[in-house]
Structure 1
C-alpha cells in the first residue's frame, strides 16, 4: 500500500534526481492530472491509499517527464493569456514571452471591427487570445502545417465561449492552410506573427525539452533567423490596409535587424518592446 502523499513524494524525488527544475510543482501537476482532482481535494485525501491504476499511470508520467519530455505535452494543455490551450508535438508550447506580443498588439492596435491575421499561428494561441481580449471583427490564423492547424481549430472551438462575443459568429475565427500568404485573401488592419526565428546552430544549444521535442519547423529560421521576417514583411506591405500594423515576436538579439527590415519596406513608427527580463521581444511598425 502507498498513500497519495507517499506517491507524490516519490515522484518529486525521481524528477529531482533527473535534473527537472521545479520538481515539487511538476510532480503535483502530474498527480492532479492523473487523479483528476485539484490541490484542495488532494489535501483532503493525501493519506488515503492510491488507486493502483492511477499509481501506475502517475509513475509512467513521471518517467516520461524524466526524459525531459515537456510537461505541457504530457498534460495536453498550456495556459496563455488567462486561457487554456490544447498542445501536442505538432505545435510550440505557448510561453509568457509571447504574451508580451499579444499585450502589445492589444495596447497599440485594438481596432474595433478590424480584420486580424496571425501568420504562423501554430496552436492558435495568439489569434484566439487577441479575439478573446480584443475588439476585432474577424481573425484568421495561417500555418503551413496541417497538424498544427488541427490543434488551432480545436483551440478555437475549446475557447469559443471567450472569443465569440459582441455579435461574432463562429465563422469569424478561421484557419487557413498556406505557405505564408499563398492561400490568404484580402487586406488586414493588423498582421501579427511569431515566426520561426532561431538559427539552426542555436537550436542545438537549447534545453532538451525544446531541442528534442518541440517542432523544428516552428523553431528554425534560415538567414541567421531572419528569413521569415523578410518574407512576411515584403508581402505584408501589400496585405495591410493604409495605416495597418505589423507586429513580430523576435529573438532577444534581433531587434535592430528586424527593425531595419521594416524600415527598408517603408514602415514607420517602428518600435521595440522588451519583456519582463528586460530583453528585446517585440518589434512593430505601421504601414
Structure 2
C-alpha cells in the first residue's frame, strides 16, 4: 500500500503525462473525494498508509480524468452560487461565468415569476429560488434526462421549482415577469476547437447553436412578447462576441432598455433588457 503523499504524487504525475492542465488540483480533488480527507488531514497524516480498496478506486478515477473526462462528471457534483449541484453527462457543467447571470437576476427577481429556458441541471432557477423569494419558478428543457437531474437538485436543495419538458416555449402557458436563459450559443464550426472535456463529453444538444451561434436567441426573442409581462425582464448569457447581435434583436422585439454585463475577464457575458419601457434609450453598462 502507498501513503497518501505517495499516492497523490503518482496520480499528479500520471495526469501531467496525459496533458491534464490542472493535474495538481484534480489529483487533490479526487483524493479528497475518494478518501474524504481535508487538507489539514493530508498535511498531518500524509505519511499514513491508505486503504488498498480505496487506492484502487482512486487510481481508476485518475485514469478517467487522464482520458479528459471532466472532473465534475467523475465526482458527480459542481458548486455553483455556493450550492452543490448534481451533474452528469446529460447536463452542462455549471460555470463561474453563469454566476454573473444569476447575480444580475437576483437584483430584480424578488416576488416575481421566473421562467428558465434550457435549464439543464437547474442551477440557474434553483439558485434564484434558493437565494430569493420568487412568486413562481419554472424550468424547462427539451431533454428529459436533464430534467431528471434538475428535479433531483431541486429536491436536494429544498426549493419549489416546477420542471417541464418543452422545446423552448412549446408547452408554456401564461406570461412571466422574468425570463432567463443560458441557451446553446457555440457556432457549429467552433465545436471541434473546444477542449476535449467539453466537445467529447458535455451534451452537444446544449452547445451547438447553428452556423452563427444565434439560432436559439432568434427563436426565443421572436416569441418573447407572448410570454413576458409588460415591464418584465429578459436575461441571456451570451458568447463573448454576440452582445451586439442579441441587443439589436431585443430592441427590434420591443425591449427599450438593454444592458450588457461583462465577465471577470472583461468579455461581454450577459445581456438583459426591460420589455415595454417608456422610452427608447439603449444603455450599455461597462463593468
Normalising by structure 2, what TM-score? 0.93
Shift of 1:154: 0.7
Query: What runs of 5+ residues in structure 1 fail to find an aligned partner?
Result: 165-171
The reply on whether 1:235 has 2:233 as its aligned counterpart is: no
Match of 1:167 in 2: none
Match of 2:200 in 1: 212
Contact persistence 2:188–2:211 (CA under 8 A): no
Aligned pair partner of 2:120 in 91, 114, 122: 122
Shift of 1:137: 1.9
Match of 2:29 in 1: 29
The reply on whether 1:284 has 2:287 as its aligned counterpart is: no
* C-alpha separation in 2, matches of 1:186 and 1:45: 59
Alignment of 1:114-263 (within 5 A): 114-160=112-158, 164=159, 172-263=160-251
* C-alpha separation in 1, matches of 2:31 and 2:186: 34
Shift of 1:173: 1.1
SS in 1 for 2:7: helix
* C-alpha separation in 2, matches of 1:203 and 1:158: 33
SS in 2 for 1:271: strand
Cα offsets for 1:234-267 (capped at 9, x unmatched): 1111111110000000000000001011011111
* C-alpha separation in 1, matches of 2:136 and 2:62: 42
Shift of 1:39: 2.3
Q: 4+ runs of 1 displaced by more than 2 Å?
A: 36-45
* C-alpha separation in 1, matches of 2:211 and 2:197: 24
Match of 2:14 in 1: 14
Shift of 1:24: 1.1
Contact persistence 2:140–2:163 (CA under 8 A): yes
Query: What runs of 5+ residues in structure 2 fail to find an aligned partner?
Result: 276-287
Instruction: Kindly tell me the number of residue pairs found equivalent between the two proteins.
Output: 275
Match of 2:279 in 1: none
Match of 2:278 in 1: none
Contact persistence 2:12–2:23 (CA under 8 A): yes
Match of 1:169 in 2: none
- RMSD over aligned CA atoms reads 1.1
* C-alpha separation in 1, matches of 2:115 and 2:62: 39
